[in-house]
Amino acid sequence: MIKYSVLYPNIKGGTFDHDYYRDVHLPLIKRRMGEYCHSYAIDKMPEGAPAETPFIAACHIYCHSMEDFEKGMKDNAADFVADVANFTNIGPVKMIFDVVV
């Protein structure tokens, strides 16, 4: 299994619409990737977190293999990227991991 993580840095002047991210963006990804997206998770910086917390939000998309991830993204990545402007002005950090446990 692999995990594709997208992390949004906590930057001055950054905006992030958590409701849109939860209710529209990630469900769009799941729907469009279909069977190639096993599941996803969303992280949100909690209220009262220290101001220097490095990230305000993240998502993690789980796929059974890198091949499944690539198949799910193949015809959809441009639409996913285009939707980002609807919820944030922050440039994300993206990483891919093998899930060990």
Q: Report pLDDT for 9.
A: 97
Instruction: Please tell me the pTM assigned to this model.
Output: 0.92
Q: Report pLDDT for 25.
A: 98
Burial class (CB in 10 A: 0-12, 13-18, 19+), 43: middle
In one-letter notation, the amino acid at residue 65 is S
Residues of the chain with pLDDT under 50: none
Q: Report pLDDT for 68.
A: 98
